[in-house]
A and B are shown apart, each in its own frame.
Chain A
Amino acid sequence: MASHKRKKITLLLGLILLGLIASCLAEYILHYSPYEQHLSLALQGPSFQHWLGTDVYGRDLLARTLAGAKLTIITALAVALLSALIGSCIGLFCGYRQGKAVTCLLRLADIFLSFPTMVFAIAVAGILGGGTFNAAAAITAVTWPKYTRLVRNLVSPLRREYYIEAAQMSGFTTGQILFQQILPEVIGPVFITAALDLGTIITEIAGLSFLGLGAAPPAAEWGSMMSSSRLYMQTAPWTVFVPGAAIVITVALFQLLADSLRDFFDTKLVR
C-alpha cells in the first residue's frame, strides 16, 4: 500500500518536474519566443506549426503557456514557502510563549484571517500597484496567519511534554528548543498544508493577473493571458482555453500531490 502511494507521489512529482523542465527549455525546443510578436500570424488556430494556436499578437500559445508555467509555479512555490515560514515562526513563538506580545500577534493573525483572501489581495495589490512581486506579496500577507494558527495549536500541548521540560532544565536555549525539539514535530502538517495551498495560490495569482493586478504585459502569466484574450472567446476560443486548461491541470496536479502526501504521512503515523 505504502509503495503504491510512493509510486503515485513519484509520478505526480515527475509530471510537475517535467512541466517545469519543459517550461525552462521551451524556447530551445519550440524555436518560438513566447514574447516576440508576429502580427501576420495573429489568432491562428491550432496547426502543425503552432500546436495550440497563436494569440492576437501572433505569439505561439504553447511557448507562452510553457513560459507561464515557470512564472506561475515558481511564484506559487515562493508564496507558499514564505507564508509557511513566516506563519510557522510566529506560530512557534506563540505556542511556546505566553503574554501580551503573543496575544497581540494572535489577534493580528485573526484580523488577517477574517479578510476574504481574494478581496484583501486585490486591495493590497491595488495599493502597492500591479506586478508579479506585489501580487505575491499580497497573497503572502493573507496566507501566513493560517500557519500561525496551525503551528500554535500544535505547539501548545507540546509545551508541557516531559522532553521539553527536560530540555529546559538541561539549559537548552529557547531557540534550540523551538527549532531542534518542537519544529520536527510540527513540520509534517505544515508541509502538507503548504502543498494543499499551492493550488489555491496558483488560482489566486492567476486571478489577480486576470484583474490586471498581477503580472504586467508582456509577461506570459496564465491569468493575464486569459484576461487579454477574453475578447476573443467567441472568435478564437483557444486563446482563452489554453491558459485556462493550464491552470486547471496544474492546480489538479498539485492538489493530487498534496492529497497523496497527506495520505502517505497519515499511513506512517498509523503504522
Chain B
Amino acid sequence: MKLKQLLALPVALLLVFSLNGCGTVTAPAATGKVFHYGTMAYGPAMQNASTDPHDTYCGWSTVRYGVGETLFKFDDQMGLRPWLARSYEQVDDYTIKIKLRDDVVFSNGKKMTGEAVKACLEDLLARNDRAPHDLKIDAMTADGQTLTIRSHEKMPDFINYLADPYSAIIDVDAGIHDRIAIGTGPYKAVRVDDQGLHLVKNENYWGPVKPKLDEVLVYSIPDGNTLTLAMQSGELDAVQGLPYASLPAFEKNGAYRILSSPTSRVYQAAMNYDTPALQDQRVRQAICLAIDKDNFVSVLLRGNGLVAAGPFPDTFPFGQGVQGPAYDLERAKELLREAGYTHTDRDGYVTKDGQPLTLRWLTYTSRQELPLLAEYAQASLKKAGIKVDVNATDNYKDFLKRGAYDIYAQAIVTAPTGDPGYYFMSKIYSGQPYNNGHYSSPVSDALIDRLNNTFDRQERFRLAREIGQQIVNDDAVFYASFLKMSVVMKKNVTGFAPHPCDYYEITPELDIH
C-alpha cells in the first residue's frame, strides 16, 4: 500500500472529529446586542422544537426562551408566585377564581384579558394530550380580568398546573404560524425550526424590567463535544447541557462562569412487575442494594448530581426524610439465595430451576447519564450474579409498547408543577399509562387518593413523603440520583442562571456587558 493510502486513514479520522466539532453554529445577520446560546435541550428529539405551548412539550421552549409566560411561576425554592395573574382564591374544592394583571399585553400589542386567557386554556385542552388529564376542567367563565375555573374533580394542585409550561398564555386569535406563537414574554420569535430559534426584543413587554438584548439566537446542539468546542471557540455566550466531562475545562478558565442548581430530574429505574422474577420482592430489593449510588454520582457523574433516596430531592419539602436502601452487595446476594437463586456454573450468574436470572435493562441515549447508569448497573448487578442485557436505544418507545423490558431506566422531572401529585398520578398509581413498571399497590393507591383530596399543603407534603417511602419499601423503583443542572457562560454575561424547575432561561434580566 502506498504511503498516501496509509496517511489517508488517520487523516480521515481527524476529519470526522473536526467535522463533528464545527459547522453547527451559523448565525444569521444580527444587529445590536446579540446573545448566542447553545443548548442540548431543544430539538425534535425533545418534542419541543416550536413555541406553540399546546403542542406536546413545546411549552418548555415557549417559557424557557422568554416567548411566553404562565399565570403562576416558581421561585428559587419552588414556591408558587403569581406571574401573569395577580392572585387567586379557592372558592370551594372544585372552583378557583383567578384575578389577572391588567397591564399585560401580548407581543403584538393586544391586551391580555380574561377572555384571551380562557380561549388559550380551551385551546390547550383541545390540542394537548396531557392537559385534559391533568387539569380536569369542567367549565370556565371570564369576566373582565377575572377568570373562574371549575374542575370536575377535586384539584388541590390546580394552580401548580397553571405554572406548567404548557399553560403559557398565548394569543390564540393570532394563530400559530411557522411554529411561532404570540406570547407575553420579553422576547418574540421571528424564526423557529429544528435547528433553533431567532428571537428579538419584545418592544411591548409589560414587565417592570425591560429586555436588555436586541436579539437572542438559540442553537440546538445535541452533541456534547460540538457544544463544548463551540463554547471554547467563542461562538457562543452561554451553553446548557455540557457533558460533565467537559466542565473541568471551563472551571480552570477564568474567562467563564459556571452556575449549578439542583433539580427534581431523577434518574430512576422502574421494575417491571410483569416480569415473573421481579414479582419477588427479594429480587427487586437485591437489585436496589447491589448498585452503589454514591459511586455513580461521585465518579460517573463527577459529582454533578445528588444521590436519590426517593422520588424527590431533599431540597423539596415533600422529599425530606425518605430513607433509601444503602449499598450492600452481600445482603443482595443473600436475598437472591433466599429467593432460590444459586450459582450453578462458573459464569458467575445465578440460576433458579435451571434458568439464569437475566434482566433486560431498557433505556435511551439522549440523556448522557442513562447509558452510564445502564453500564454501571450491568457491572454492579453482575457482582450479585444477575445478568443484565442493556438495550440503550432511542427507539425505546417501541420496546415499551411491546413490553420488551424488565427494567426501564429514564430521566424525568418528578415535580414539574412544584407539587408531588403529578409524579404519583402519572408514574405510580395503578393502571396509569406512564406507570411503566406496572406497579400496583393498594397501600400506595389509597395514599395517592388521599393526597388527591387534601388541600392543606403541609398534609400534602407529609402524605407525599409517606408515598415516597412506600415505593422505596416496595422496591418498585430504583432511584439513582438527581440531576444538578449546570450552565456555562462567558464572564460578561449577567442575569443568566439555572433554575430548579428548568423552565426559565432567557429572562428580561439577561444581559451582555
Where the two chains meet, the residues of A that have a C-beta atom closer than 8 Å to any C-beta of B are: 35-37, 39-40, 42, 56-58, 126, 129-130, 212, 216-218, 228, 230-236, 244, 247-248, 251-252, 255-256, 259
Contacts and interface: CB of A to CB of B under 8 A. Distances in A.
B225 A230 contact: yes
A218 B6 CA distance: 31
Interface in B359-418: 365, 368, 371-372, 374-376, 378-380, 389-393, 395
Q: Nearest 10 pairs between A and B by C-beta?
A: A231-B243, A39-B299, A37-B379, A231-B245, A217-B375, A232-B245, A259-B1, A255-B1, A39-B295, A248-B9
B379 A234 contact: no
A57 B378 CA distance: 12
A58 B228 CA distance: 24
Interface of B: 1, 5-6, 9-10, 13, 17, 224-225, 228, 243-246, 248-249, 295, 299-300, 365, 368, 371-372, 374-376, 378-380, 389-393, 395
Given A37-B376, A248-B13, A251-B9, A234 B390 contact: no
B379 A36 contact: yes
Contacts of B380: 37
A95 to B, nearest CB: 30
Contacts of A244: 13
Contacts of A234: 225, 228, 245-246, 249
A56 to B, nearest CB: 7
A236 B245 contact: yes
A42 B299 contact: yes
Contacts of B295: 39
B345 to A, nearest CB: 17
A35 B244 CA distance: 23
Given A39-B295, A218-B378, A230-B224, 17 more contacts: A37-B376, A37-B379, A39-B299, A39-B376, A40-B299, A42-B300, A57-B300, A126-B395, A212-B393, A218-B375, A231-B225, A231-B245, A231-B368, A234-B225, A236-B245, A248-B10, A256-B1
B497 to A, nearest CB: 24
Contacts of A228: 371, 375
B265 to A, nearest CB: 19
Contacts of B249: 234-235
Contacts of B224: 230-231
Contacts of B246: 231, 234-235
A217 B299 contact: no
Contact of B365 (A37, A212, A259): A212
Contacts of B376: 37, 39, 57
Contacts of A39: 295, 299-300, 376
Nearest to B243: A231
B225 A233 contact: yes
Contacts of A216: 389-392
A219 to B, nearest CB: 10
B438 to A, nearest CB: 23
A53 to B, nearest CB: 14
Q: Name, among A216, A217, A251, A259, the residue most crowded by chain B CB atoms within 10 Å (CB to CB).
A: A217
A233 B223 CA distance: 13
B6 A252 contact: yes
Contacts of B248: 235
17 contacts: A35-B379, A37-B379, A57-B376, A58-B299, A126-B395, A130-B393, A212-B365, A217-B371, A218-B375, A218-B379, A231-B245, A234-B225, A235-B248, A235-B249, A248-B9, A251-B9, A259-B1
B228 A217 contact: no
Contacts of B365: 212
A15 B355 CA distance: 42
B433 to A, nearest CB: 24
Contacts of B300: 39, 42, 56-57
A100 to B, nearest CB: 39
B380 to A, nearest CB: 8
Nearest to B228: A234
Contacts of B225: 230-231, 233-234
Given A39-B299, A57-B376, A218-B378, A255 B5 contact: yes
Nearest to A58: B299
Contacts of B371: 217, 228
Contacts of A233: 17, 225
